[in-house]
Structures are given as C-alpha cells and as structure tokens.
Amino acid sequence: MSDKLDLPTNEFAFKTAYGGRSLSYKMAKHYDKLISMADGNKIRVIDDMESYTSDALAQAAWVASDAVATTGVAVTSESSTVAGGSYAITLTTGTSSFTSDVSVLRTLTASSSYLEDVENSQDWREYNFLGFIAYAGAATGAADIDLHVGDKFGNWATVSLGVIDSNHAQDYIPVEVKLSSMSGSIDWSRMKYVKLVLTSSMGTSETYTIDEMILYKYSNGYGPVNGNTIKLTAGADNLTRGMIVKVVPNGMRVFVNASADGDEEAIGILCTDGDTGDDVYVQIDGYAYQPVGEDPSGWEAGDGVACAGASGAGIAEAASTMADAFGRYIAPLAGTISQYGYALIQIGNPGATPSA
C-alpha cells in the first residue's frame, strides 16, 4: 500500500471508500501505518476503541488505578455513545466524593508498521497534536480531567483538558492537545503511556466517553487537516487556528472573515496562528470539523455553509442558491447535531458568486 492517500472527490466516493465514517477520525484506523496526506499531514491511530466488545476487554486495555465503585472510576465498553464505528469507552466516577485523584492508564506498544518504533515504545516526533472525540455526561471544570503522556523512562508530560461547558455537555466534541503545550520533559521518541487523570474536583457518578484517539501533524483547530493547504501572508493580528478566513487582493493577504462582506469570499480554515506579515497556512479543500453557530434545525447533507459571524468562528446555513457558501454541510460529528455542536463540512464551493 502506498504511503500517499488519494482523497475521495465527492461525498458518495467518501462514503464508499470509508464506510460512511467521518474522514478525520475514521479514515486512519483502517491502516496500521503512517499516512501521508497530499499536504504532508501524518496521522497515527493510538486507539480506535473498536476491539472493546466487552467491559473486560476495555478494562484490560485502559486500567483504572482505583476501580472501587464508591470513590474510584469504572471503565466500561460503550456501544451507544460513540462518535462512529461500534465501540468507545466510558469512564464513570464513583458514588462518593473522591478523596484523591484516580487515573486510567493505556500502555502503548511498538508496531512493525513504523520502523522508527524501537524498544517496544512508540516514536511521536513526527506529530504535533493528540486528539480524540469526547462526550461528557455533564459539564466539567477546568481542573477536572488531565491528560498525561509518559515515556519508557518514567518521565511524564501533562496538560489539563479544560472546561466542557453546559452548551457542549452531552454532545460529541473534538478534543485536541498540542504536544508542545504539555508541561514536563519527555523523550518523544520512546513513548509508552497515555493516562487520563480524573481529579478530586470531579463530581460523583459523572461519565466521560472517549473515542478515536489519534496523533497528527497539522490541525485546522478541531482535528487533523484533510485536504490541501496553501501558504499566505496574514493581513491582521491575532489569527488563530480554526478561524474561517477570506483573502483580499492586496498582496493576497488573509483576514478573518467578516460576515457583512459576503461569505463567498471565504476560502478555507486557518491551520496556523499568526499576526500581520506572518506566513500562515490555510486549508482550502477537503473535510473539516467546525462549531455550529446557529440552531441547525432543518439542515440536510449538501446544504451550503457560511460564516456564523465576523469572528470567523462557527458556521451557519448559507442561502440555498449556494451563492454565499464557502463549503457544504456533510453530517454532524455524531448523533443529532445541536447548536454549539460540531459539524463535518466539505470546504470548497466553486459555484459561489464573488461580490463586487
């Protein structure tokens, strides 16, 4: 099998090739090897959760430090609250308040598909991000859940996974961690562990479901880039990954899209941070997750999507003529889409009519 991946050219081809699964997180799991995109992106599956057909299998892979029902955390196989495919895992806190932090540990092994893996550990040096899909049963606090990754020498890097507010609780969300933002000195060429730590600030009987944990090199802010990128010069300050952007003619500079200027001028999604004069990268085609900025009742696959506001964050349904659309709505991330949830969109709309 070639390391190059030919991306599907339309929705039908995408569903045929990948079984209807969402491209960002489901594509890679069919190949136990490094995948090189057209833009140089690399994706590696850490755990697709598909083998956990029973609680016992889930518990054998994700081992809880304290599985006592009252104060610990239970690991169970999940077959209903999944982002795609058939299985995920759910962590459930005990029925009494925690007296100390509890953790759930996944031990990594080397793969013969990756020649850089040695000493029964994994080499993560080619990647910049670790991501997965989360579904929280209730809102979480800033210090409730931490992610720890460890090397074979016993060193750890850590980061708090942050708040899941009430708008995003009971909804599927992409969680993304920039590896360079993690605290701690670690040997990224000898990675051995992934650990989720539920801290003593967690509430009782709370659930947290995770699915499709992957590594990747380039990000559009909510998941790996799946499509072509171009390099442009930033024409404004405080541009951040995930913003929907437009280009103006004066030197092909990229700006955050302003809704009043016509959404047909948007060209894609920013994949790097930058200020005026910086070189930034923009994903101009392919699939991407974006937060929904309006109540999506009535949305159907194929509807045009436009910017939800001048901040460049979020999408709204575009006019049915597609004249103001910069892409198309494909599907919700999983389940039933809701406001503040995340939609899978296809960037690129050659039928858009530019404004004067």
What CATH number has the domain bearing residue 65? 2.60.120.260
Same domain flag for 70 and 165: yes
The string of pLDDT tens digits covering residues 294-340 is 888 888 888 888 888 777 778 888 866 677 788 889 888 887 788 88
Q: 163, 190, 216: which is the final residue of a domain?
A: 216
Q: In the structure, what pLDDT confidence band is assigned to residue 351 with cuts at 50, 70 and 90?
A: low
Is 26 inside a domain boundary? no
Averaged over 86-91, what is the pLDDT? 96
Q: What is the pLDDT of residue 4?
A: 34
Range of the domain at 75: 42-216
Is 15 inside a domain boundary? no
Same domain flag for 197 and 269: no
Q: What are phi and psi of 234, to 5 degrees?
A: -70, 135
Same domain flag for 75 and 201: yes
Using alpha carbons, list the distances in angstroms from residue 5 to 24, 43, 260: 13, 11, 38
Is 154 inside a domain boundary? yes
Q: 155, 188, 216: which is the final residue of a domain?
A: 216
Same domain flag for 259 and 185: no
DSSP H or E segment with residue 253: strand 253-256
Using alpha carbons, list the distances in angstroms from residue 59 to 67, 72, 111, 213, 239: 10, 14, 22, 16, 42
Same domain flag for 56 and 200: yes
Same domain flag for 187 and 282: no
Is 354 inside a domain boundary? no
How many C-beta atoms lie closer than 10 Å to residue 342's C-beta?
Answer: 25
Q: What is the pLDDT of residue 8?
A: 40
Q: What is the pLDDT of residue 51?
A: 96
Averaged over 196-219, what is the pLDDT? 93
Q: What are phi and psi of 16, to 5 degrees?
A: -65, -45
Same domain flag for 208 and 157: yes
Averaged over 263-277, what is the pLDDT? 84
More confident residue, 144 or 247: 144
Is 31 inside a domain boundary? no
Same domain flag for 52 and 170: yes
Averaged over 47-71, what is the pLDDT? 95
Q: Give yes or no for residue 278 having a pLDDT over 70.
A: yes
Is 25 inside a domain boundary? no
The string of pLDDT tens digits covering residues 131-184 is 999 999 998 988 899 999 999 999 999 999 988 888 888 888 899 999 999 999
User: At 14, which amino acid appears?
Assistant: F
Sort strands 207-216 and 129-136 into parallel, antiparallel or unpaired: antiparallel
- Alpha-carbon span 29 to 21, nearest angstrom: 11
Number of independent structural domains in the chain = 2
List of long-range contacts for 12-18, beta carbons under 8 Å, 24+ apart: 14/287
Look up the CATH number of the domain holding residue 248.
2.40.300
Q: What is the pLDDT of residue 18?
A: 36
Q: Give yes or no for residue 248 having a pLDDT over 80.
A: no
Q: What is the pLDDT of residue 251?
A: 61
Answer yes or no: are the C-beta atoms of 203 and 170 closer than 8 Å.
no
How much is the pTM? 0.84
Percent of the chain whose predicted confidence (pLDDT) is above 70: 82
Is 2 inside a domain boundary? no
Same domain flag for 159 and 296: no
Same domain flag for 138 and 248: no
Same domain flag for 49 and 139: yes
Q: 193, 216, 239: which is the final residue of a domain?
A: 216
Is 35 inside a domain boundary? no
Using alpha carbons, list the distances in angstroms from residue 235 to 9, 179, 251, 269: 31, 28, 9, 15
Same domain flag for 46 and 153: yes
